[in-house]
DNA sequence: CGGTATCCAAAAGGATACTG
DNA sequence: CAGTATCCTTTTGGATACCG
């Protein structure tokens, strides 16, 4: 399969990220993950989504939504009313992305105990005083 | 299911990332993805892995490997010989992580054409001169 | 060979003020 | 309400030099 060729996933000739890597970056980015998970449930208005996620600045939410919209994952529905009302939802492509991300998120959650144990073992194995 | 609670995946009380989010960050990080994909094939020595991935600095490869080792994904086997020889391979947990990441990577690759089309449509719809 | 330590440039990200 | 524009801080990451 094509993905087995690791070099394909590294830098492009110009020193930037390859196209597929950019998409992966967008959907797994700090806020991208949370936007996809939230919108998978239902559509949200901008401020509503901001409250739902929590801790995200206006700037970053705007940027994340625009990136995902450009990538064809998010649909933006701006109603021409005053005050402005904009609804965000997932496209077909976005639903697929959200499903992938959710799968990864659920694996992470399932295996978190194993990771925590590994960390404790790792930290203890080189803790100061362990050999005195 | 637990992951549907988006708030659980956002910031912790101290303003940092929640534990599961940190793990996800590690396995989907720029070099973490490439390390997992490479080591899924076979084990590598440090310099060998560095060449295989390409474009990664010593510092970042070291950092990535240490993070993944601490998380219990990567096994580090340092042979006490001169010159030093260190082999890296995936643990059981790491193999699971690699499988998840590969699945996401393959989806990205499959759907890249749709993303590219979406981007073109997006860019063209607000290209200067489209309304003059 | 396989790292560590340090320094510095670049990029990400938050706070604030302002606009349609 | 839903952004945009600007500034500034924090984080990331690469280059270099050195060590076991």
The nt closest to A58 (CA vs C1′) is D3
pLDDT tens for each residue of B60-106? 999 999 999 999 999 999 999 989 999 999 999 999 999 999 999 99
Residue B62 is predicted with a pLDDT of 98
- Close Cβ partners of B6 (under 8 Å, ≥ 6 residues apart): A34, A37, A38, A41, A52, A53
CB atoms under 10 Å from CB of A59, counted, come to: 8
Spacing of A63 CA from D4 C1' in Å:
11
State if pTM tops 0.85. Answer: yes
What average pLDDT does the structure give for chain B? 90
Using the predicted structure, report yes or no on whether residue B16 has a pLDDT greater than 80: no
The predicted model gives B43-64 an average pLDDT of 96
- CA dist B115 and A91 (Å) reads 11
Helices A92-125/B58-70 angle, 10° precision: 80
Q: Which of residues 39-58 of B touch strand C (CB under 7 A)?
A: 45-48, 58
Query: Using 50, 70 and 90 to split pLDDT, how confident is the model at B10?
Result: confident
Residue A32, exposed/middle/buried by CB under 10 A (0-12, 13-18, 19+)?
A: buried
* Nucleotides of strand C lying closer than 7 angstroms to a protein CB: 1-6, 13-17, 20
Quick check: B108 and A53 CB within 8 A?
Answer: no
3-state DSSP assignment of residue B79:
strand
Quick check: A10 and B55 CB within 8 A?
Answer: yes
The predicted model gives B22-35 an average pLDDT of 95
Q: Is the CB of B78 under 7 A from strand C?
A: yes
Using the predicted structure, report yes or no on whether residue B121 has a pLDDT greater than 50: yes
What average pLDDT does the structure give for chain A? 91
Chain centre distance of CA A100 = 10
Query: Using 50, 70 and 90 to split pLDDT, how confident is the model at B132?
Result: very low
Q: What angle do CA B98, A103, B60 make, to 5 degrees?
A: 40
The predicted model gives B12-40 an average pLDDT of 89
Measured between CB atoms, does B60 come within 8 Å of chain A?
no
Q: Is the CB of B16 under 7 A from strand D?
A: no
The predicted model gives B28-32 an average pLDDT of 94
Which residue is the nearest neighbor of D2, CA to C1'?
A84
Q: Is the CB of B85 under 7 A from strand D?
A: no
Which two structure tokens, joined as six digits, stand for A58?
């206006």
Phi-psi map region of A129: left, alpha, beta (phi>0 left; psi -120 to 50 alpha): left
Q: Which residues of chain A have pLDDT under 50?
A: 131-132
Residue A131 is predicted with a pLDDT of 46
Using the predicted structure, report yes or no on whether residue B57 has a pLDDT greater than 90: yes
The predicted model gives B24-37 an average pLDDT of 95
Which two structure tokens, joined as six digits, stand for B84?
């030093």
Domain boundaries, given as residue ranges, for chain A: 14-124
**Is the dihedral angle over the CA atoms B17, B19, B23, B28 positive or is it negative?**
negative
Matching CATH number, A14-124, of 3.20.20.140, 1.10.10.10, 3.40.50.740, 3.20.20.10: 1.10.10.10
Residue A9 is predicted with a pLDDT of 85
């Amino acid at each position: 399969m094509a993905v087995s060729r690791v070099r394909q996933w590294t830098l492009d000739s110009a020193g930037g990220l390859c196209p597929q890597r950019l998409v992966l970056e967008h959907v797994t980015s700090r806020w991208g993950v949370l936007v996809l998970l939230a919108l998978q449930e239902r559509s949200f208005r901008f401020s509503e989504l901001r409250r739902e996620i929590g801790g995200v600045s206006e700037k970053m939410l705007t940027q994340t939504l625009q990136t995902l919209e450009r990538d064809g994952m998010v649909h933006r529905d701006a109603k021409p009313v005053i005050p402005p009302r904009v609804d965000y939802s997932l496209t077909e492509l976005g639903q697929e992305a959200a499903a992938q991300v959710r799968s990864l998120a659920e694996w992470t959650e399932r295996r978190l105990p194993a990771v925590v144990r590994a960390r404790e073992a790792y930290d203890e194995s080189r803790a100061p005083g362990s050999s005195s």
